[in-house]
Amino acid sequence: MGRLFGTDGVRGVANADLTAELALGLSVAAAHVLAEVGTFEGHRPTAVVGRDPRASGEFLEAAVVAGLASAGVDVLRVGVLPTPAVAYLTGVLGADLGVMLSASHNAMPDNGIKFFARGGHKLADELEDRIEAAYYENTVHRTGAPWERPTGGGVGRVRSYDEGFDQYVAHLIAVLPNRLDGLKIVLDEAHGAAARVSPEAFTRAGAEVITIGAEPDGLNINDGYGSTHLDQLKAAVVEHGADFGIAHDGDADRCLAVDGAGEEVDGDQILAVLALAMREAGTLRGDAVVGTVMSNLGFKIAMEREGIHLVETAVGDRYVLESMKEHGYALGGEQSGHVIVLDHATTGDGTLTGLMLAARVAATGRTLADLAGVMRRLPQVLINVPDVDKSRVKTSAELASAVAEAERELGSTGRVLLRPSGTEPLVRVMVEAADIDQARSVASRLADAVKSALG
């Protein structure tokens, strides 16, 4: 029996791995576990439920709503909204639970369920474990005592909450430091959850907006558009003579950009631009930004040059967020464009990130390419080495010798990272160097060394 919850909720192929029965059962289990830990004590519980536009989200939403209401939880259905909007509304409406149905940047057949605790924060791992255990015990194996089911007026009531759209957009506008008048921006919505929200927010903020990938039909989410497919955005920015472009993923918790010449601006560069803007505004607490061990070395060099401390965590936005909350940092994120501005959001918010990036361009009068030039991305080569004993990465003397030799060759202008995959029997070899040919050569030699030492 594998663990249901991954690093970002429960995810799988809709109606195969992620069924209506599973969605209903997990929702009932979540309601009972939260009741047991006292979250609902003294009041009638409420949950906010939203989804991205995937066709499967329609039946999964119905299952989640049914499960919650059958357990006595009132439900506010906010419809198709980005993941960060559901998190925000969970907090601002004082709800006890938030549920988002989305598989983010995954292909359309997938879907997922993500729970938010009161305040709009990610549910603690311990609570996820308890929910999963309760689901198996009471729904799958039926070994536990049957749950009491409310009747009469005790059952949850369900209503649509259409005001959530305007509330979220108003929140995004309110936290902007300045307007975007005079900017021409192309927005790629990945045919996803931000197809209405993002253009509305940028337009209200004063920008001239051109949209692509903003016609979701339930089947086309992330299909050739969005942050994982930037070619359409690059072409549209150049074609329309726009100042720059912004791309979201399916649930809009990510943001990547394209400058006026059609060149990609990745999450590290976005973080660099926002870090300098926030330090200037006095909101970059500790003069620090949180990244991961996969952050480009060019980002680290740039931050050191600018007097900003880069705090590195393991790969995954959950680890970035944990570090930010533990130490009180205000900004963090990943190369993928998952950027967290903790003063204004409890999770990565692609629309907010794009707006803040645009605000910086508007405030300085500089181009995005110029602002992003604060850092130079060093060439990065990644090789996956399959069918090796990944458990011996840190203990192999032969491999340690090969890594040391590579690090001597690269010196201070390069970096080596060997990472065992968390889900597959393979080791990821990442090499950065000032020169792409050198990066490729060193990565190839290290990949051979991994095969020899761990094969």
Confidence class for position 1, pLDDT limits 50, 70, 90: very low
Same domain, 170 and 295: yes
Residue tagged 């506008």 (tokens):
173
pLDDT at 422 over 70: no
Q: Give tens-digit pLDDT for 83-129.
A: 999 999 999 999 999 999 999 999 999 999 999 999 999 888 899 99
Domain boundary among 338, 372, 406: 372
Phi first, then psi: give them for residue 255, nearest 5 degrees.
-150, 125
**How far is residue 196 CA from its own chain's centroid?**
19
CATH number at residue 388: 3.30.310.50
444 a catalytic residue: no
Same domain, 177 and 302: yes
Separation between Cα atoms, residue 51 and residue 14, nearest integer Å: 13
Same domain, 178 and 296: yes
CB distance 122 to 9 below 8 Å: no
Cα separation values, 308 from 43, 279, 363, Å: 45, 9, 21
pLDDT at 293 over 60: yes
CATH number at residue 75: 3.40.120.10
Same domain, 392 and 430: yes
Separation between Cα atoms, residue 322 and residue 437, nearest integer Å: 37
Same domain, 257 and 278: yes
For the chain, state the CA radius of gyration.
23
The structural domain count of the chain equals: 3
Separation between Cα atoms, residue 392 and residue 399, nearest integer Å: 9
Q: Give tens-digit pLDDT for 393-408.
A: 888 888 999 999 999 9
Strand partners, 212: 188
Rounded to an integer, the average pLDDT of 51-77 is 98
Rounded to an integer, the average pLDDT of 145-170 is 95
pLDDT at 208 over 90: yes
Question: Which amino acid does the sequence have at 308?
Answer: I
Same domain, 210 and 264: yes
Same domain, 304 and 420: no
Cα separation values, 451 from 271, 382, 398, Å: 35, 15, 11
Residue tagged 């015990």 (tokens):
137
Same domain, 356 and 441: no
Q: Is 387 labelled a binding residue?
A: no
Same domain, 231 and 314: yes
Q: Is 110 labelled a binding residue?
A: no
Domain boundary among 353, 372, 391: 372
Residues 6+ apart with CB under 8 A from 445: 402, 406
Domain boundary among 129, 162, 195: 162
Same domain, 34 and 124: yes
Q: Give tens-digit pLDDT for 336-360.
A: 999 999 999 999 999 999 999 999 9
Q: Which of 56, 102, 104, 323 is catalytic?
A: 104
- 179: tokens are 């307007």
pLDDT at 18 over 80: yes
Same domain, 192 and 300: yes
Same domain, 28 and 172: no
pLDDT at 423 over 70: no
CA atoms within 13 A on the CB side of 368: 29
What is the DSSP pairing of strand 110-117 with strand 97-101? antiparallel
pLDDT at 309 over 70: yes
Separation between Cα atoms, residue 101 and residue 23, nearest integer Å: 10
Beta strands in 108-253 (DSSP E): 110-117, 158-160, 184-188, 208-212, 244-247
pLDDT at 74 over 50: yes
Residue-number span of the structural domain to which 433 is assigned = 380-454
- 160: tokens are 């649509």
Q: Is 249 labelled a binding residue?
A: yes
